[in-house]
Amino acid sequence: MEEIGIPELTSEQVEELCEVAEKAAREYILSKLPQNRISVLNITVETEGTRPVTVDVDVEITVSPILKNRDVKKLANEATRNAFTSVEIYLRELACKSAK
C-alpha cells in the first residue's frame, strides 16, 4: 500500500482501525448471505506497529449445506478487500485531520 503520511497512531486509534475493518468485512458478508445461513463467521484483524501500521485481515466463513454452490472463498476475499478499503479510508481521514 502507498505511504499516506499518517501520524503515529494512538492505542485508541489502532483499536478503532480494527473495529472499522471488522465491521466492513462483517457488513459485506451479511449483505451477500442471510445470517441464518452462516454457520461460522470469524473475522480477525491484527495490527503491528503504529507508524507505519501493518494490518492483517483474516475472514473465515462456513455456510449451511443449503448454500453448497456458493463460492465462500471468493466471498471471504471480497470481504477482506472491503475491510482494507475501509482501513485506507480511515487512515486517509486521520492523515487529513493531522495535516490541519
Structurally, how many domains does the chain consist of?
1
Specify the pTM.
0.84
The helix (H) or strand (E) run that includes residue 14 is helix 11-32
Q: Which residue's C-alpha cell is 489502532?
A: 14
Query: Using one digit for the tens of pLDDT, what is the confidence trace for 15-68?
Result: 999 999 999 999 999 999 989 999 999 999 998 887 778 899 999 999 888 877
For the domain that residue 35 is a member of, what is the CATH number? 3.30.300.100
Read off the pLDDT of residues 67-78 as tens digits, 9 standing for 90 and up. 777 788 999 999
Question: Are 25 and 85 a contacting pair, CB within 8 Å?
Answer: no
Residue 26 domain flag: yes
Domain hosting 24: range is: 11-94
Report how far Cα 23 is from the mean position of its chain's Cα atoms.
7
